[in-house]
Amino acid sequence: MIRYRDDPDRPGEPIIEATARDLNTYRGFARAYLRAKWPVLGEADADEVTQDALYVLWRMVDEGRVRGAYTDPPDVVIRSLLVNITWRVAGNQAARLRRKDARHVPIGEEHDRDLPDLAARPEDIADARHVLRSIARSTARPVRVLLLVLQGESAENIARTLGLDVATVYSHVARARNALAKRYDRPRKRKR
């Protein structure tokens, strides 16, 4: 049974308790979510993503890192967190599949994605969603290129899609990342 447990150190932020069997009841929910949002994944990949997401969720619950509020039912908190975990795992799986099948010049290690901590605070998650929405609304070419990179597209595919040179794609990615780092006061480390 999924329920709240009081935390004397943090009143008002109860810890969610659940067994692996309780969390396994959400397997169908996660699979339906994957079918709706990630149709590119095949059945075997969807099964793997579902299993990985449930495992991550179980570890977080087991370690006491999942908190809620008494105003929200614990199953709603679990579903919301499972959607976020499933999205992240599915994105990683889709990127692995694209990289395995594609023959292209990789964007480079300096452009790897920084993924948020799974136990991020709600205000951090809200801030990240706001940033992603503002990025997604941008029409600037460097930001469009960066979004395609984050979706796992190769430099060659991006160049072909947007009618650019591959070198221009690299330039746009660097420019967009520098602009985002500057906007959010996070200077980028330069490779030497």
In the prediction, which pLDDT does 25 show? 92
In the prediction, which pLDDT does 39 show? 78
In this structure, CATH architecture of domain 3-101 = Orthogonal Bundle (1.10)
DSSP state of 67: B
User: What number does CATH give the domain 109-183?
Assistant: 1.10.10.10
Residue with tokens 């010049």: 105
Whole-model pTM?
Answer: 0.51
DSSP state of 3: E
Query: What are the structural domain ranges in the chain?
Result: 3-101, 109-183
With beta carbons less than 8 A apart as the criterion, state whether 148 and 158 touch: yes
* Residue 5 CB burial class (10 angstroms; 0-12, 13-18, ≥19): exposed
> Tens digits of per-residue pLDDT, 93-112?
777 766 655 444 444 443 44
